Amino acid sequence: MIHNRYLPLGLHQVCNGVFGAVWLIGLGSIWFGEPAESWRHFVSRSLIWASIPVGIILALVARQFSIVQGVAGGDGYDELPETDGK
């Protein structure tokens, strides 16, 4: 039995953009609790704000560069052994 495991292009683009944005937000949240005048807080806030345009750019370039490639499987198809319903 062969299962198609490719993500549709629209969903692939959304996943690519969201994954990149969430990664930047997570990275930016490391120093967000620092005092507001510190450089670490500024870098943290900048990374969080930068996640929006970076997510949009990653969604637009998902055909050429994908950070979620391989999530759905190596080449997109897996041949699974037949089961007898057990």
Q: For residue 77, what pLDDT is reported?
A: 47
pLDDT tens string, the chain, 86 residues long: the values are 455 556 677 888 888 899 999 999 999 999 888 898 999 999 999 999 999 999 999 889 887 776 665 555 455 545 555 666 55
- Alpha-carbon distance of 82 to 2, in angstroms, equals 10
pTM score: 0.67
The domain segmentation of the chain, as residue ranges, is 8-69
Q: How far apart are the first and last CA of the chain?
A: 16
User: Are 24 and 50 in contact, with CB atoms under 8 Å apart?
Assistant: yes
Q: For residue 41, what pLDDT is reported?
A: 92
Q: For residue 1, what pLDDT is reported?
A: 47
